[in-house]
Amino acid sequence: MKKLFSAALVMAAAFVAPAMAQTYPAKPVTMIVPFAAGGPTDIVARFVSEHMSRTLGQQIVIENVAGAGGTTGITRAAGAPADGYTIMMGHMGTHGAAPALYPGLKYDPTALIPVGIAASTPIIIVGSMKFQPKTLQEFVTFAKANPDKLNQAHAGIGSVSHSTCVMLNGQLGIKPTAVPYTGTGPALNDMISGQVDFMCDQIVNLAEQIRGGTIRAYAIASPERSPALPDVPTTKEAGLPDYQVIAWNAIFAPVGTAPEITAKLNDALRKALADEGTRTRLLNLGAVLPTASEQTQAFLGDFVKAEVARWNKALAAAK
Amino acid sequence: MTDLLANLALGFGTALSLQNLWLCFVGCMVGTLIGVLPGVGPIATIAMLLPITFGLPPTGALIMLAGIYYGAQYGGSTTAILVNIPGEATSVVTVLDGHQMAKQGRAGVALGVAAIGSFIAGCVATLFIAAIGRPLSSIAQLFGPAEYFSLMVMGLIFAVVLARGSVLKAICMILLGLLLATVGTDLVTGQERLTLGLQDLSDGVDFASMAMGIFGFAEIIKNLENPETRDVVHGVIGRLLPSKKDMQDSAWPIARGTVIGAILGILPGNGAVLGPFASYTVEKKLAKDSSRFGRGAIEGVAGPESANNAGAQTAFIPLLTLGIPPNAVMALMVGAMTIHGIVPGPQVMTKNPELFWGMVASMWVGNLMLLIINLPLVGMWVKLLKVPYRMMFPAISIFCCIGIYSINNSTSDVLFTAFFAVVGYALLKFGFEPAPMLLGFVLGKLMEEKLRQAMILSRGSFMTFVERPLSAALLVVSAIMLVIAILPAMRQKRDQVFTE
Amino acid sequence: MTDQQGDGESRALFRQDFGAGLFLIAVGLFALWEGWKLPLGTLRSMGAGMLPFSLAVMLCLGGVGLIITSVLNKGEELEAWSIRGLLFIVGGVVVFAYTIQTLGLIFAGPLSMVIGSMASDEFDWKEAVIFSVILTAACALLFKTALGLPIPVNVFW
């Protein structure tokens, strides 16, 4: 009965569906952010969408649909009509690690239409001040010598801090005891008080604590040092050159969205990334902005394929 | 001391600028409004307003957003008292006696005492933050997973004391709440548990849809079946504001509630939810005649409401002194600060003194504003109760539906509310009290998380809970409370209450 | 105690605590059935199923306890359930859930409110329709215009 009723309503709605707008966008565009408001991805989305709205002449409305490591929101966005009025802010987790973590994933990250990379935030390896090792080398030595004593915090299965540390542990060949938390905040709290020893997370979440001297940074997993934390060595300098991880954020549209529409969105995104105000705001987060060649749709398409393959390998090895 | 005065002067200088006063007022107004609307919580609203604050100076923006947060705490108690719907975990306790008072024609008194209690608590808690915020923040560092787990055990004992009727039934309700809390993705392994294969349950049951179904809708169905007790207020509406005697009865509960709430609010991981429950337990235990509780005891509103608001203020301490958000709203505040280029961290107090002290001062100003906004509104709310029930309940229903839908823009949340309406009605018919279940649910998530973290850190040794002094102390207190709660003598008294 | 003398033995099923016990056992068994494949782990290293399993078992035990008390102490009788209230109130909410996205608030609001209003024995078509339309307009203004929440108000034009 319920089904029949809703089916009848859907049919009724189909008759009055608005004619496809000739000039996109004719009404506000919804951007689904698959994480809670106020988190790193949400902030990046808000910064770029604010400028994009000006270019498009229509408001981009952020809708936060959090849950299951971001896959709830992307599933919903991927199932939305491919008319360009629903787009999504995907990231390293939802469009890289998710296929390896969630076997029943209801969308294919590589099939979604790439719009462009917005901004990326590098990963930092940090430790508690009460934890003995002071440098990355000491950390590696300690970790290999005391595999039973090591406690690693993460912000939940599927979170950036989880998958990036799994990759780190795999590369180092260490097996620390993983302590799950429900977010970066509680994990940081227990790391400051010395309950847990180390974790990996995005620079945005950690920079102020590192500057304030409450936690110790071992290395930043990007090719160059971050202007936000010039004293923190890169993984390459610290002797772990293969550990290059960045939490990237990129805009995608549902499968079937017209190329003219995604091109228009890509153009708006490029203009946002060229805007001085938007750039400054993003850089203040410690974010890394894509270069001109990295701003194309094609680049993002290839990049996602590479990321999915890379995370599949890293996370499968850990299982 | 002179430091403090100089700092406060700086703070008030910032908070009392015309623009910041206005923003504080707007925040408090919006907060009160969304607090009153069931379902629409501060998280959705602050997220919605974030883009608007882009153009504002950071301090002003944060003053406004903070106003929304504690304004919503004020407004939430209005809905709890008037229509029996707790918008948030912290107002579950207010429902117990507040709505009973409303049914006795004392809605005005309940609302008044809630507003006055909250004001006093807010002022004291703000002083707390100003004077000893920094040292207090170290309390958060004392609480590792083991201590936290023991604190939660204590919280569950509160739930037993909270109940009016049979202890066995109360314990069953707590167990049911704990069981419901396990629904969702397992924290440690990422496996889905008891989700019935529904993706919408993978993050667990939503508190608001559950509370609204079990309290709000079940109450509507129950009211509709007895025409005599249908209208919320049958008979005369008494005075609009608390009398001198009411205030005398509430003075100590307000003082105790403030202290309890302020201390629990500092704890990371949302210790503030325990505040009102703890305060209610204390008041019920201290009362000469505990049988009045659950039947419109004014102490049962005054204490928990003060604790609630004190906790809402001191929850800013870990954020403002350490840069660590203790709950979801505070995490959103971190986002708001980050958007404005101020990433909160351990140095925020020294780096941005006018932000820190401006916010502290604005909280005081905001509390005063809330009192001025809310007291005149009491008369209006009470008049609303006179609307015939046949018009009132569809209105409550549609507000709840829209509110629930707007939390995640999700159809399934609304369906869960419908499901819990049926469950809540069944519980009423079986003579269960829903409050212990909600407390079990709220604490259950934290409790399992902390239990498993502690066990992982101790490599599987239960001794960790007794070896750590603070944890052991909390467990001892819990044990004593449990014994008191189930002592045969007490039990007899309970049964008398139950059969009266 | 409110139960009448004499018929207590034969009407065990109709006592509140008896029903309550059965309810808890049903919930407990359902949780056990739903979660039987989850690994329990050991006390030392708990699996995902440890807590749900032990809570479900305790819930069943609590239910048995309630049934025993009910048989021993009798206790209050189970009141009749109001099917009308349940049907229309819950129905109104369910209709809202299924129509808000497809029909928008302008239709979902009045529809769900009128259905909900039928739960009352004072139901009056005209009043319910007029009131629900006015209230829906007020809700649209409040939630959409004033608070700016992304609620689909009008999905047609």
Report pLDDT digits (tens) over C13-36. 678 888 899 999 999 999 999 888
Asked if the Cβ–Cβ distance from A61 to C150 is below 8 Å, we say: yes
Q: Does residue C9 have a pLDDT over 50?
A: no
Residue A296 resides in a domain: yes
A106 and A132 both lie in a single domain: no
Give chain A's domain count: 2
| Domain end residue (candidates: C49, C73, C97) | C73
- Vertex B24, ends B18 and B26: CA angle to 5°? 105
**Average pLDDT over chain A, rounded to an integer:** 87
Torsion angle of C-alpha atoms A297, A298, A302, A308, degrees rounded to 10: 20
Provide the domain count of chain C.
2
- In the predicted structure, residue A13 carries a pLDDT above the cut 90: no
Q: Cβ of C98 and A2 within 8 Å?
A: yes
User: Closest residue of C to B209, CA-based?
Assistant: C93
What lies within 8 Å, CB to CB, of B363 at 6+ separation is B66, B70, B122, B126, B129, B313, B316
Considering only residues B403 and C10, tell me which one the structure prediction assigns the higher pLDDT: B403
Choice between A18 and B74, residue whose per-residue pLDDT is larger: B74
Domain co-membership, A185 together with A114: no
- The string of pLDDT tens digits covering residues A247-274 is 999 999 999 999 999 999 999 999 999 9
Sequence-distant (6+) residues with CB within 8 A of B260 are: B275, B278, B279, B282, B307, B310
Residue A318, classed as helix, strand or coil, is helix
Q: Are B351 and A56 in contact (CB under 8 A)?
A: no
- Half-sphere exposure in the Cβ direction for A196 (13 Å, CA): 28
Whole-angstrom Cα distance, residue B285 to residue B158?
11
Nearest-angstrom CA–CA distance, A199 and A209: 13
Cα A52 to Cα C139: distance, rounded to the nearest angstrom: 31
Q: Is the pLDDT of residue C2 over 70?
A: no
Smallest CA–CA separation between C32 and chain A, in Å? Answer: 23
- Give the pLDDT confidence score for residue B232 in this predicted structure: 62
Report if residue C58 sits inside a domain.
Answer: yes
Q: Is B318 on the interface with A (CB under 8 A)?
A: yes
Tell me what pLDDT residue C13 has.
66
What secondary structure does DSSP assign to chain C, as a single string? --PPSSSTTTTGGGBHHHHHHHHHHHHHHHHHHHTTTS--B-SSSB-TTHHHHHHHHHHHHHHHHHHHHHHHH--PBPPPP-HHHHHHHHHHHHHHHHHHHHH-HHHHHHHHHHHHHTTSTT--HHHHHHHHHHHHHHHIIIIIIIT-------S--
Mean pLDDT, range A215-229, rounded to an integer: 92
CA distance B123 to B115: 12
Whether omega before A25 lies within 30 degrees of 0, making that bond cis, reads yes
Chain C residue with the nearest C-alpha to that of A29: C150
The reply to whether C99 touches chain A by the CB within 8 Å rule is yes
Query: Is residue A167 a part of any domain in this protein?
Result: yes
Check CB contact of B6 with chain C, cutoff 8 Å.
Answer: no
**Which residues span the domain enclosing A164?**
122-220
Band of pLDDT at residue A15, cut at 50, 70 and 90: very low
3-state secondary structure of A61: strand
Pairs across A and C, CB distance < 8 A: 23
**Which residue of chain B has the CA closest to C108?**
B398
Give dist(CA B74, CA B375) in Å, integer.
11
pLDDT of B231 reads 62
A292 to A118, A289, A297, B459: CA distances (angstroms): 12, 9, 11, 50
Distance set, CA B147 to CA A60, B174, B266, B275 (Å): 45, 21, 14, 17
Query: How many angstroms separate the CA of residue A282 from the nearest CA in chain C?
Result: 26
Decide which of C24, C48, C73 is a domain's last residue. C73
- Amino acid (one-letter) located at C79: E
pLDDT band at A136 (very low <50, low <70, confident <90, very high): very high
Residues C54 and C108 in one domain: no
Considering only CB atoms, which chain B residues are within 8 Å of C94? Answer: 414-415, 418
Tell the burial category of B466 from Cβ atoms under 10 Å away from its Cβ (0-12, 13-18, 19+): middle
| Closest approach of A190 to chain B, Cα-based (Å) | 6
Contact of A154 with A125, CB cutoff 8 Å: no
B205: chain A residues, CB-CB within 8 Å:
none
Please identify among residues 141-160 of chain A the ones whose CB lies closer than 8 Å to any CB of chain B: 148, 151, 156-158
Backbone angles phi, psi at B279, to 5 degrees: -65, -40
* pLDDT of C10 over the 50 cut: no
Shortest distance, CA B225 to any CA of chain C (angstroms)? 6
Nearest CA of chain A to the CA of C19: how many Å? Answer: 29
Q: Are residues A136 and A200 in the same domain?
A: yes
The CATH number assigned to the domain holding A213 equals 3.40.190.10
pLDDT in tens, B303-331: 999 999 999 888 888 888 888 888 888 88
User: What single-letter amino acid sits at B190?
Assistant: G
- Residue C126, in any domain of the structure: yes
Whole-number Cα distances in Å, B456 to A177, B153, B410: 7, 18, 35
Residue A11 has pLDDT above 50, yes or no: no
pTM of the entire predicted model: 0.84
- pLDDT category, C116, cuts 50, 70, 90? very high
User: What is the rounded CA–CA span in Å between residue B189 and residue A314?
Assistant: 17
A-B Cβ pairs (cutoff 8 Å, strict): 141
Percent over 90 (pLDDT), chain C: 48
| pLDDT at position B236 | 62
User: Do A137 and A99 belong together in one domain?
Assistant: no
Q: Which residue of C has its CA nearest to B180?
A: C52
Residue C109 lies in domain? 83-146
List of chain A residues whose C-beta atoms are within 8 Å of the C-beta of residue C94: 2
**CB-CB contact of B344 with B320 (8 Å):** yes
Chain C residues closer than 8 Å to B45 by CB: 147
> Are C35 and B430 within 8 A, CB to CB?
no
Query: Tokens 């203040």 appear where?
Result: A284
Residue A246, φ and ψ in degrees, nearest 5: -140, 135
Rounded to 10 deg, the angle between the B389-408 and B218-225 helix axes is: 170
Beta bridge partners of C91: none
Are residues C46 and C16 part of one domain? yes
**In the prediction, which pLDDT does C4 show?**
43
Suggest the residue from C45, C98, C107, C144 to mutate for an interface test with chain A (most A CBs closer than 10 A): C98
The Cα of A30 is separated from the nearest Cα of chain C by a number of Å equal to: 9
- Ordered mean pLDDT values, 10 residues apiece, chain B (500 residues): 82 91 93 84 79 82 90 87 83 89 88 92 89 75 86 84 79 93 85 82 85 89 77 64 89 94 81 86 85 88 93 86 82 85 80 87 91 87 83 90 85 93 93 88 87 89 90 91 67 48
B29 touching chain C per CB within 8 A? no
Whether C98 and C52 share a structural domain: no
ipTM: 0.90
User: C6: pLDDT confidence band, cut at 50, 70 and 90?
Assistant: very low
Contact A185 B336 (CB under 8 A): no
Neighbours of chain C (3+ CB pairs under 8 A): A, B
Residue of A9, A18, A61 lying closest to C103 (CB–CB): A9
CATH code of residue A303? 3.40.190.150
* Subunits adjacent to chain B (3 or more Cβ pairs under 8 Å): A, C
When pLDDT is averaged across residues C98-117 and rounded to a whole number, the result is 93
**Strand pairing of A86-91 and A29-33?**
parallel
Taking residue C145's Cβ as centre, other Cβ atoms within 10 Å add up to 10
Q: Answer yes or no: do A159 and A216 share one domain.
A: yes
d(CA A34, CA A251): 12
Is some CB atom of chain A closer than 8 A to the CB atom of B224?
no
Task: Find out whether A42 and B335 touch, Cβ atoms under 8 Å.
Answer: yes
The 10s digit of each residue's pLDDT in C142-156 is 888 887 777 888 877
Give contacts of B194 with chain C, Cβ < 8 Å.
31, 34-35, 52
* Any C CB within 8 A of B387 CB: no
The answer as to whether A129 is a domain residue is yes
Measured CA to CA, the distance from residue A145 to residue B317 in angstroms comes to 39
| Minimal-distance CA residue of chain A relative to C96 | A6
Contact C139 B224 (CB under 8 A): no
- The HSE-up count of residue B296 (CA atoms within 13 Å, CB side) is 14
Question: Which positions in chain B touch C81 (Cβ < 8 Å)?
Answer: 425, 429
Last residue of a domain, one of A180, A200, A220: A220
Chain A residue numbers with beta carbons less than 8 Å from the beta carbon of B43 are 36-37
Is residue C5 included in any domain, yes or no? no
Instruction: Looking at the structure, tell me whether residues A205 and A134 fall in a common domain.
Output: yes
Domains of chain B: which residue ranges?
2-499
Could you give the 3-state DSSP secondary structure of residue A198?
A: strand
B positions 413-472 inside 8 Å of A (CB): 449, 452-453, 456-457, 459
In a domain, C153, yes or no: no
